[in-house]
Amino acid sequence: MITETDAFNTIEFDKYFVILPSMRLWDAGAFIKAFNGRPCPDGFKYNSGTNSEWLSVEQLKKLIKEHVDPATRRRKGDL
């Protein structure tokens, strides 16, 4: 989720966003240029209501299987 307030510090890339710290610790313009990003437009926000790409239940299950370590899964009785 990216709020309109966070969008001031957010850089958009083809497949992801980077929210920069509000305190400028480096040259944001150089970062944008080096990694081919673009600042988000005024009024931009990204949330479930504005998202146009959705995963199916099967796609979610596949991602969980691929990226969640089975050793970290909760067992019955764990809190």
- Amino acid making up residue 59: Q
Indicate if the pLDDT at residue 71 is higher than 70: no
**If we measure between CA atoms, which residue out of 37, 14, 17, 41 comes closest to residue 27?**
37
Q: What angle do CA 64, 66, 71 make, to 5 degrees?
A: 75
- Amino acid making up residue 40: C
Residue range 10-28, pLDDT digits in tens: 999 998 999 999 888 888 8
Q: Residue 77's pLDDT band (boundaries 50, 70, 90)? A: low
Q: What is the rounded distance in angstroms from the CA atom of residue 39 to the CA atom of residue 7? A: 8
Q: What is the rounded distance in angstroms from the CA atom of residue 71 to the CA atom of residue 79? A: 16
